[in-house]
Amino acid sequence: MSTLTKAALLALACFVAAGFWAPGVSVAQGPPCGPRDVFLDSLERTDKEVPVSMGVTSTGALIEVLASPAGSWSILVTVPGGPTCMVSSGTGWRPLNPKNTDPEA
């Protein structure tokens, strides 16, 4: 895995973690969770969002970024043996072209 990919996944993990502990967010209001296939089917059907990036955390959770050609995006986290939760979504997604795509770099 390239250094750029590792840095991007670390930044994404920090962003997701910060969202869980943001001031003013009620602990009782967790993110919407459910079966992964239901989220994937619904996001593709309603928003034309498909997975564009994914990674596995050190604890084994799968983090996926889904995006549509129109620019909407969602971040899903699936814990091992558990549900999938949508931790964030928004608009204005733009793919970047990393200069270094060599996984051995």
Condensed to tens digits (0 to 9), the pLDDT of residues 42-68 reads 999 999 999 999 999 999 999 999 999
Q: What's the longest Cα–Cα distance across the chain?
A: 43
Please check whether residue 67 lies inside any domain of the structure: yes
Please check whether residue 27 lies inside any domain of the structure: no
From CA 21, how far away is CA 31, in angstroms rounded? 12
For the cut 70, the answer to whether the pLDDT of residue 81 exceeds it is: yes
How many helices, marked H, and strands, marked E, lie in the chain? 2, 5
DSSP letters along 3-19, please? Answer: HHHHHHHHHHHHHHHHH
The per-residue pLDDT for 103 is: 62
Please check whether residue 103 lies inside any domain of the structure: no
Please check whether residue 36 lies inside any domain of the structure: yes
Domain limits at 9? 3-21+32-90
Please check whether residue 82 lies inside any domain of the structure: yes
State pLDDT tens for residues 7-51.
444 445 545 544 544 444 445 678 899 999 999 999 999 999 999
For the cut 90, the answer to whether the pLDDT of residue 85 exceeds it is: yes
Please check whether residue 98 lies inside any domain of the structure: no
List Cα–Cα distances, 80 to 64, 74, 76, in angstroms.
14, 20, 13
For the cut 90, the answer to whether the pLDDT of residue 71 exceeds it is: yes
Name 91's Cβ contacts closer than 8 Å, sequence gap at least 6.
71, 72, 73
Please check whether residue 15 lies inside any domain of the structure: yes
- Whose tokens are 């502990």? That residue is 21
pTM: 0.68
The per-residue pLDDT for 105 is: 57
Please check whether residue 96 lies inside any domain of the structure: no
Rounded average pLDDT over 71-87: 95
* Number of domains the chain contains: 1
